[in-house]
Amino acid sequence: MRGEITISFEGRSLCARAGESVAAALLRHGIRRFRMSPTGPRGPVCGMGVCFECSVEVTRAGESPIVLRACVTPVEDGMKIAAAPNTLPEGLV
């Protein structure tokens, strides 16, 4: 189908819509745990990149993994996504 791309979350292949955010694609597939914190699982809260709760680890072709906010990061074909390690900016859990 036109406009669909393939991404993966922790090894699971998923279809995503070109132009949508990583958070939207994961939520559409029922994925709610984006990272773990000392107090438990975390997922999207604010939806506009302020709270960092939706942080995921993203690996793009030929690049090293990087932690990004899923709600403001557009999907890219072949993108590999994993739950982010608890390495958020100081003061944010």
Q: Considering its fold, how many domains does the chain have in total? A: 1
- Structural domain range at position 50: 4-83
In a domain, 46, yes or no: yes
Q: What is the pLDDT of residue 40?
A: 85
Confidence class for position 90, pLDDT limits 50, 70, 90:
low
CATH number of the domain residue 78 falls in: 3.10.20.440
- C-alpha separations of 52 from 20, 47, 91 in Å: 18, 9, 11
In a domain, 88, yes or no: no
Confidence class for position 1, pLDDT limits 50, 70, 90:
very low
Claim: this prediction has a pTM higher than 0.85: yes
93, burial (CB in 10 Å: exposed 0-12, middle 13-18, buried 19+): exposed
